[in-house]
Amino acid sequence: MIILFVLLGVFLAIGCTGNQGASPNATVTPVTPVTPVSAVTPGATVPETITVSAAASLTNAFTDIASQFEKENSGTNVSLNFGSSGTLRTQIEGGAPVDVFASADEKQMNLLGNKSLIDNSSRKDFTGNSLVLIIPANSTLNITNITDLTDPKVQKIGIGNPDTVPVGNYTKTALTEAGLWSQLENKTIPGEDVRQVLTYVERGEVDAGFVYSTDAKSADPGTIKVVTNVSVSTPVTYPIAVVSASNHKETAQKFLNFVTGTEGQDILKGYGFVTQS
């Protein structure tokens, strides 16, 4: 009996050992191979983006120009940065990643050119503008020319900051040439750019303001009246250039060529700018 029990135990042990590691109902889950990052989208083209810093007065026109340029240049995006030309110039001087600069006057572009921060060979004057005096549409003041601004009833005059905003510099020049700056300087309310001056007049926050004719045309209907064109000895011209530090110079030059070409000039003309011959 003892021998029989021993033999039975041996057989049972052998049977259990043979079944270890094998479950008839077990399911093996295959390991999914990791796809290398470089192989996720073989042949995919990464869109090229250029940054264009442009004077605030170009907002509407350049928005349309950029849109048309992107349609005709698949795979290229245009990032627009608008502001006063002086502010945009200091951004470029500070190393901002800008590819194209379009200024509302020659002064800001000259400052960059003198420091070799623009490609001077690419620089072109591409459009022009004119200075106008505007008042709120509901104004009860008898303002018919710039001399009327000396009336004590006229207390606030919106102008761009003459140090950084080209329209402000043109305004100061025009008033100085007319012998009025010393009388009107204390009445001036400086704006950060020409669009802010326009807003001041639209809202009736000032009695009058100086803006470009193109900005006056973009005002909300029924908010302003154009009093007169303002004579200034320095022509209101807009230069454009490729920034020296650009990492996309070929595409930047292509955008500049588009602005100065037929399509770009037609868009500018549609917004009231003086196109270049």
Residue 217 belongs to some domain of the structure: yes
Q: Do 247 and 188 fall into the same domain?
A: no
Q: Do 118 and 245 fall into the same domain?
A: yes
Residue 135 CA to residue 145 CA, distance in Å, equals: 11
Q: Do 136 and 221 fall into the same domain?
A: yes
**How many domains does the chain contain in total?**
2
Q: Mean pLDDT throughout 15-34?
A: 42
Please check the confidence at residue 2 and state whether its pLDDT lies above 70: no
Q: 211-255, pLDDT tens digit by residue?
A: 999 999 999 999 999 999 999 999 999 999 999 999 999 999 999
pLDDT reported for residue 275: 84
Please check the confidence at residue 14 and state whether its pLDDT lies above 70: no
pLDDT reported for residue 10: 41
pLDDT reported for residue 177: 97
Mean pLDDT of the chain: 88
Residue 5 belongs to some domain of the structure: no
Q: Mean pLDDT throughout 86-115?
A: 98
Distances (CA, A) of 148 to 32, 134, 209, 220: 81, 12, 13, 25
Q: What is the reported pTM?
A: 0.81
Structural domain of residue 79, as residue ranges?
Answer: 48-128+237-275
Q: 154-194, pLDDT tens digit by residue?
A: 999 999 999 999 999 999 999 999 999 999 999 999 999 99
Partners of residue 160 on adjacent β-strands:
191
Indicate the residue among 194, 210, 230 that finishes a domain: 230
Q: Do 109 and 241 fall into the same domain?
A: yes
Residue 27 belongs to some domain of the structure: no
| Structure-token pair, residue 89 | 């110039």
pLDDT reported for residue 42: 54
Q: Do 119 and 242 fall into the same domain?
A: yes
CATH of the domain at 69: 3.40.190.10
